[in-house]
Amino acid sequence: MLKQFTQLLSIQFKEFFREPGALFWSFIFPILMSFALGMAFSDKPEMSQHAAVVIPASDSSFLKTYLNNNCTKSSSQKNEYEKNVDYKKLGKTTTHFIPASWKESEIMMKRGQIEIILTENKGKINYHFDPANFTSRLAYIIVSGMIDGKNLLSTKSVIKPLQTKGTRYIDFLVPGLLAMGIMSSCLWGISYGLIEKRSKKLLRRLVATPMKKSLFMITMFISRFVFAVLETIALLTFAYYVFDVTIQGSIIAFAAVIISGSFFFMGLSILLASRTANTQVGNGFISAITMPMMLLSGIFFSYSNFPDVMIPIIKYLPLTLFADSLRSIINEGFGVMDIIQPLLILSITGLTTFFIGLKIYKWY
Amino acid sequence: MTDANTQPIVKAVNIKKTFKDVIALAGVDLEIMPSEYTALLGPNGAGKTTLVEIIEGIQKPDSGEITLFGKHWSGNKDELYKQIGLSFQETKFEDKLTAAETLKMFASFYGLDNTRVEEILNIVNLQEKRKSYVVNLSGGQRQKLALGIALLNNPKLLILDEPTTGLDPTARREIWSILHELKKTHGTSMILTTHYMEEAENLCEKIVIIDKGKVLAKGTLEQLIAESKTSEIVQFKVLDKSKFPDFSKFSDLREIQWEDSTNIVTMNVDNTSSFLPKMVSYLNNAGCKISELRCRYVTLDDLFIRMTGRKLTD
């Protein structure tokens, strides 16, 4: 029995560590993501925006005069004008003005190359943009302010940039990446792995021996949990040394959430893999579960921007529960009792899906 | 002879199995005796794999009874799996495990140590490939690995489902030689499904011809030939079909078959040496010219075509 256990466990580790792709996606990719996004949003905020300018033919054009007198010719792009404004603590903004015809401007807008189009009619500047687009709306506020000669910074208000731990974007991002990494690792590692073994007819070969099926599942779970822990340690270590991200709350609560989150996704993996016959269908199933959660559960950006009717549903998605719990421990200093509800939900549903999955599991 | 040697190792009685509208097995009876190598012959879709999987305990029959070593599968799985060795069609082992690691993993299920793994590597001649990943093994080497896994527990019964399909003749013969040796040294019983007549003739003393879920014939090759009441074949090509005379008055000619596309005539006769001179003179008298005249003993292939109306590879 012990021999079987150690052999199965060592096989699981060997399979994982001999697959460079698995190592990359589990360890390197989350670190690269956190580095790229962390750097992009942690650096001094320098904003760049693009506006197409449709200049009328007449010599008395206000826009033409504005570009010639207030902007500099771009050194890199012919015909383009640039204007830099330093809003001090609000950061620098470079606006690129691109003279173009209306048709060219429309094409650039469709391609997402510009945020706003400026035209002139009877001495008035017209701003063309989609108000539902936040970047276009911001471009309108900044460009119209520049052209009207207004100062965006009010003399009555003072901007105080937050630099404390837990309030930066990287603090928001790291717990999300941890949760997402564990979800992907479990679903792809366990579900896909089992489905692949079934489609290769290896599962039926394994069970046509005196092998203990329970040992096979247990060793798979242990190995996946060890990988989840290693992934967590790797990403947290990186985030600590590069961005000074630390766990402000209880380490026990953090460990409990990692265990319950991993357990939930392991249970789900077994259920997903229980009847799926081939890897193509498995691929579809796993993507159908992971993709919506990655988009909705506030991994990269807060889910508070979604419509109000969706928020209560999003809040109870497993990945949201997992990521929000990690966030509240890492950034807000929560302890076990503060996150007991998501902890119980994840553990109980994980256990339920695991037993249902095992009950209906098709070994052949 | 002891009682154990007279009792069948496998006993299948009136096995029926249906998949949706397809009848895979329509009441099959089969007995495998100790130290007996049995070939299940049949074309694709004949029901061979279904029958083998029912014997292996992987599928349950809709009706009928199956026992191995006198025991049913229900409640005896672990015990029976300890006594049999299996090789499925197209099992793919883990790509990034070595041949030795794969064997060690399976050995651990039987509580066997590395000594047995080394023995198996020797038996299936994979010592040099022990550290090669499965993904880097050739088709023949992978089949030898599958056979090695099947042999790990020193099984009393070996069940191999098309173990040499897709292999080149050299690799096939290498597997045959391992199986011959096994029979000689261990007295193992074997059930083998195959497409290859040559494989069945070479390895197995008992042959079961199966088609459309039914056993059409079973016995030794000699018994099957005797039952068919045909042992010799005369075959030739007719150059002008219109001049081919009526052979109905030849009492020692049992059957005559025409292959329209090639004008090849196959005659089943009782005794070639007495029939041939009469046949040649009869054709000469009719002015019917022939070419490519061949005489041979009947083969399993001939029997199969006669029984099923199709070739084994169809």
Query: CB-CB: which of A4, A6, A204 is closest to B109?
Result: A4
Give the gap in angstroms from C-alpha B1 to the nearest C-alpha of chain A. 31
Give the gap in angstroms from C-alpha A286 to the nearest C-alpha of chain B. 22
B76 within domain boundaries: yes
Give the gap in angstroms from C-alpha B150 to the nearest C-alpha of chain A. 10
Contacts of A358 (CB under 8 A, 6+ apart): A217, A270, A274
A211 within domain boundaries: yes
Tokens representing residue B233 in the block:
């074949």
Give the gap in angstroms from C-alpha A221 to the nearest C-alpha of chain B. 18
Mean pLDDT value across chain A: 87
- Put simply, the answer to whether B58 touches A201 (Cβ < 8 Å) is no
Phi, psi of A353 (to 5 degrees): -65, -35
Map tokens 């020193």 to a residue. Answer: B154
Cβ–Cβ < 8 Å for A323, A265: no
Tokens representing residue A219 in the block:
């060793």
For residues B100 and B207, state if they share a domain: yes
B214 within domain boundaries: yes
For residues B23 and B148, state if they share a domain: yes
For residues A24 and A143, state if they share a domain: no
pLDDT tops 60 at residue A43? no
DSSP string for residues in A121-139 = ETTEEEEE--TT-HHHHHH
* Cβ contacts of A11 on chain B, cutoff 8 Å: 94, 97, 101, 105
For residues A323 and A274, state if they share a domain: yes
For residues A32 and A180, state if they share a domain: yes
Where residue B270 sits, what CATH number does that domain have? 3.30.70.100
Look at residue A165 in the predicted model and tell me its pLDDT.
67
Cβ pairs A/B, distance under 8 A: 62
Boundary-marking domain end, from B203, B225, B247? B225
- Total Cβ atoms within 10 A of residue B257: 14
Look at residue B5 in the predicted model and tell me its pLDDT.
64
For residues B70 and B170, state if they share a domain: yes
B314 within domain boundaries: no
- Put simply, the answer to whether A7 touches B56 (Cβ < 8 Å) is no
Look at residue A92 in the predicted model and tell me its pLDDT.
81
For residues A138 and A88, state if they share a domain: yes
pLDDT tops 80 at residue B53? yes
pLDDT grade for A147, boundaries at 50, 70 and 90: confident
- Put simply, the answer to whether B108 touches A4 (Cβ < 8 Å) is yes
Boundary-marking domain end, from A117, A148, A179? A148
Using CA atoms of B228, B234, B239, B243 in order, give the dihedral in degrees to the nearest 10.
-70
pLDDT grade for A134, boundaries at 50, 70 and 90: confident
Cβ–Cβ < 8 Å for A266, A217: no
B144 within domain boundaries: yes
* Cβ contacts of A196 on chain B, cutoff 8 Å: none
For residues B153 and B58, state if they share a domain: yes
For residues B258 and B183, state if they share a domain: no
d(CA A34, CA A83): 32
Helix residue spans in chain A (DSSP H): 2-17, 20-23, 29-42, 62-70, 102-110, 134-148, 169-186, 193-199, 202-207, 213-243, 251-273, 279-296, 311-315, 318-332, 340-359
For residues A108 and A134, state if they share a domain: yes
Look at residue B1 in the predicted model and tell me its pLDDT.
45
- Put simply, the answer to whether A202 touches B111 (Cβ < 8 Å) is no
pLDDT tops 80 at residue A145? yes
pLDDT tops 90 at residue A281? no
Predicted ipTM > 0.90: no
For residues A20 and A60, state if they share a domain: no
A292 within domain boundaries: yes
For residues B196 and B279, state if they share a domain: no
Contacts of B184 (CB under 8 A, 6+ apart): none
B306 within domain boundaries: no
DSSP string for residues in B39-103 = EEE--TTSSHHHHHHHHTTSS--SEEEEEETTB-STTTHHHHHHHEEEE-TT----TTSBHHHHH
In chain B, % helix, strand, coil (3-state, to 5) comes to 40, 30, 35
For residues B70 and B127, state if they share a domain: yes
Name the more confident of B284 and B3. B284
Summarize the confidence of residues B183-212 as an average pLDDT.
Answer: 87
For residues A185 and A124, state if they share a domain: no
Give percent above pLDDT 90 in chain A. Answer: 32
For residues B127 and B172, state if they share a domain: yes
- A117-129 pLDDT, tens digit per residue, is 999 888 789 999 9
Cβ–Cβ < 8 Å for A136, A118: no
B302 within domain boundaries: no
Nearest to B88 by CA among B165, B196, B152: B165
A290 within domain boundaries: yes
d(CA B189, CA B166): 24
Tokens representing residue B195 in the block:
């497409």
A130 touches chain B (CB under 8 A): no
B305 within domain boundaries: no
A156 within domain boundaries: no
Provide the residue range defining the domain that includes A204. Answer: 2-40+164-359
For residues A129 and A185, state if they share a domain: no
Summarize the confidence of residues B88-113 as an average pLDDT.
Answer: 90
Cβ–Cβ < 8 Å for B120, B85: no
pLDDT tops 60 at residue A205? yes
- B102-147 pLDDT, tens digit per residue, is 999 999 999 998 899 999 998 888 999 999 999 999 888 898 899 9
pLDDT grade for A316, boundaries at 50, 70 and 90: very high
Look at residue A340 in the predicted model and tell me its pLDDT.
94
pLDDT tops 90 at residue A175? yes
Q: Which amino acid is at A205?
A: R
For residues A169 and A135, state if they share a domain: no
- Put simply, the answer to whether A208 touches B110 (Cβ < 8 Å) is no
For residues A204 and A340, state if they share a domain: yes
Cβ–Cβ < 8 Å for B9, B32: yes
Environment class of B297 (CB within 10 Å of its CB; exposed 0-12, middle 13-18, buried 19+): exposed
A175 within domain boundaries: yes
Nearest to A315 by CA among A329, A288, A296: A296
For residues A118 and A168, state if they share a domain: no
Nearest Cα residue in chain B from A194: B94
Where residue A62 sits, what CATH number does that domain have? 3.40.190
Structurally, chain A folds into a number of domains equal to: 2
Mean pLDDT value across chain B: 87
Q: Which of A11, A199, A209, A212 has the highest number of chain B CBs within 10 A, making it the mutation to test binding with B?
A: A209
pLDDT grade for B224, boundaries at 50, 70 and 90: confident
pLDDT tops 60 at residue A259? yes
A105 within domain boundaries: yes
For residues B156 and B119, state if they share a domain: yes
Q: Which of B52, B56, B58, B108 has the highest number of chain A CBs within 10 A, making it the mutation to test binding with A?
A: B108
A89 touches chain B (CB under 8 A): no
- A44-61 pLDDT, tens digit per residue, is 567 788 999 998 877 778
- Put simply, the answer to whether A364 touches B58 (Cβ < 8 Å) is yes
d(CA B178, CA A343): 57
Boundary-marking domain end, from A88, A119, A148? A148
- Spatial strand order of the sheet with A124-128 comes to A72-73, A81-86, A92-99, A46-53, A116-121, A124-128
* Cβ contacts of A219 on chain B, cutoff 8 Å: none
Look at residue B196 in the predicted model and tell me its pLDDT.
80
- Put simply, the answer to whether A364 touches B105 (Cβ < 8 Å) is no
* Cβ contacts of B105 on chain A, cutoff 8 Å: 7-8, 11
pLDDT grade for A236, boundaries at 50, 70 and 90: very high
A154 within domain boundaries: no
Q: B281 vs A91, A297, B275, CA distance in Å?
A: 112, 93, 10
pLDDT tops 90 at residue B254? no
* Cβ contacts of B108 on chain A, cutoff 8 Å: 3-4, 6-8
DSSP string for residues in A288-353 = HHHHHHHHHTTSSS-GGGS-TTTHHHHHTSHHHHHHHHHHHHHHH---TGGGHHHHHHHHHHHHHH
d(CA A130, CA A113): 14
b/e string for A111-141 if b means 16 or more Cβ within 10 A? eeebbbbbbbeeeebeebbeeeeeebebbbe
Boundary-marking domain end, from A148, A176, A199? A148
Provide the residue range defining the domain that includes B241. Answer: 232-297
- B138-194 pLDDT, tens digit per residue, is 888 898 899 999 999 989 999 998 888 878 888 888 889 888 888 888 888 999 998
Query: CB-CB: which of B92, B108, B110 is closest to A200?
Result: B92
The distance of Cα B162 from the centroid of its chain, to the nearest Å, equals: 8
Where residue B167 sits, what CATH number does that domain have? 3.40.50.300
For residues B292 and B157, state if they share a domain: no
For residues A133 and A243, state if they share a domain: no
B14 within domain boundaries: yes
- Spatial strand order of the sheet with B189-194 comes to B84-87, B157-161, B189-194, B37-41, B206-211, B214-219
Give the gap in angstroms from C-alpha B103 to the nearest C-alpha of chain A. 11
Put residue B247 in one of left, alpha, beta given phi > 0 → left and psi -120 to 50 → alpha: alpha
B133 DSSP 8-state letter: B
Q: Which amino acid is at A121?
A: N
A7 touches chain B (CB under 8 A): yes
For residues B246 and B99, state if they share a domain: no
d(CA A114, CA A116): 6
b/e string for A79-90 if b means 16 or more Cβ within 10 A? ebbbbebebeee
pLDDT tops 80 at residue B13? yes
Query: CB-CB: which of B86, B92, B108 is closest to A7?
Result: B108
Q: Which of A5, A18, A205, A215 has the highest number of chain B CBs within 10 A, making it the mutation to test binding with B?
A: A205
For residues B124 and B272, state if they share a domain: no
Q: Which amino acid is at B293?
A: L
Structurally, chain B folds into a number of domains equal to: 2
A278 touches chain B (CB under 8 A): no
- Put simply, the answer to whether B96 touches A7 (Cβ < 8 Å) is no
Query: CB-CB: which of A15, A204, A364 is closest to B94?
Result: A15
